[in-house]
Amino acid sequence: MTITAFSGLAPEKYIPRSEREEDSPAEFTLKPLNGLEYMEVIGQLINDEDLGWQITGRGLRIAISYGVIGWTEFNDADGKEIKFSKNNVKLLPSVILGELADKIINISEIGEAERKN
């Protein structure tokens, strides 16, 4: 069996659900996690007796730190655009951070074609 390098690491644009009806929605550039980054995030899974497998806050934070690589139309209260930086990620509302982390993890999971390699 030949091992083939995972090639699905192209960044994707993503508009959060709450922004989809807006005239100028905030749009985020998300990068799928590479294998080592994904393992670091998955290492933060816990098995809750009632809820099943859940990812910890630390796992979500790791996904965000690796996966959010840009944005447009993210503005402060005065309407001034906030420039992307890893430090400014902390300005995002927690509900948006959770949604972005879920999307990053989802686009990082290998598909059937990669699984066969």
What pLDDT digit, counting tens, does each position of 8-62 carry?
Answer: 678 999 999 999 999 999 999 999 999 999 999 999 989 888 888 888 999 999 9
For residue 78, give Cα distances in angstroms to 20, 75, 81: 21, 8, 9
What pLDDT digit, counting tens, does each position of 70-112 carry?
Answer: 999 999 999 999 999 999 999 999 999 999 999 999 999 865 4
Q: Are 20 and 73 in contact (CB under 8 A)?
A: no
Q: How far is CA 47 from the centre of its chain?
A: 21
Q: Which contiguous run of DSSP H or E holds residue 30?
A: strand 27-30
Question: What is the reported pTM?
Answer: 0.85
Burial label, 67 (beta-carbon count in 10 A; 0-12, 13-18, 19+): buried
Sign of the torsion formed by the C-alpha atoms of 10, 15, 17 and 18: positive
Question: What are the domain boundaries of the chain?
Answer: 12-111
